[in-house]
Amino acid sequence: MMLALAFALTWLGLAALALAMDRHAGLLGCRRPALRPALRALGLTALAAALGCTLPCMEPAPALATWLGMLAPATLCTAAMLTWLQRPPVSGRSASGSASRSRRQNQSH
């Protein structure tokens, strides 16, 4: 149970760190730079909390290994989520054309 929570926190933390990055910031619908430090702080706090969740479950060494291990599937989940959210709309347009179109839309917000 605690480990499931730890994984959820790891995922949340990495997702927050990703949204604080230039490339993925548009997904939130606004590009307010003021949000970045808050997202970054949220991400780091969530990652630290995840480590805090693994520690009571086992000895410190396996707990640290588990936390580091969780980063791998959580990174994959975050990347898959971002890829899915940024997927080109299903239409006859070429992939590159629709990508640049969505980027323009994001900037106009």
Partner 1 sequence: MGEVHTWAGLLFGWLLYFMFVTGTAGYLDTEIDRWMRPELPVAQYPQPGAAATAAATQALDYLQAQAPDARRWSIQLPVDRNEPHLRVAWQPTSGGAAQSAWLDVHTGAPIPVRDTAGGQLLYQMHWRLHYLPPEAAEWMVALASMALLLALLTGIVVHRRFFADFFTLRLGKGQRSWLDAHNLAGVASLPFQLMISYSGLIFVMFSFMPLIASAWYGPAPGAGRAFYAELFPPMATALPSGQRAAPAAIAPILADARQRWGGAEAAVLEIAQPGDARARISVIGNFAAGAVRSAGILVYDGANGALLAERPAWQSTPRATRDLLLGLHEGLFAAPPLRALYLVSGLLGCAMIATGMLLWTAKRRERAQRGPPAWPAGLALVERLNVAAIVGLPVAIAAYFWANRLLPTDMAQRAPLEAHLLFAVWLALFAHAALTPPRRAWRQQAWLAALAFGALPLLNAATTGRHLAQSLPAGDWVMAGFDLAALALGLAFALGAWWLQRRRP
Q: How far is the CB of 70 from partner 1 (least distance, A)?
A: 6
Q: How far is the CB of 93 from partner 1 (least distance, A)?
A: 13
Q: How far is the CB of 72 from partner 1 (least distance, A)?
A: 4
Binding site for partner 1 (CB under 8 A): 3, 14, 18, 21-24, 58-59, 61-62, 65-66, 68-73, 75-76, 78-80, 82-83, 95
Q: How far is the CB of 68 from partner 1 (least distance, A)?
A: 5
Q: Tokens 């480590």 appear where?
A: 51
Burial class (CB in 10 A: 0-12, 13-18, 19+), 94: exposed
Our CB check for partner 1 shows the closer of 41 and 68 to be 68
Task: Report the first-to-last Cα separation within the chain, whole angstroms.
Answer: 40
Our CB check for partner 1 shows the closer of 41 and 76 to be 76
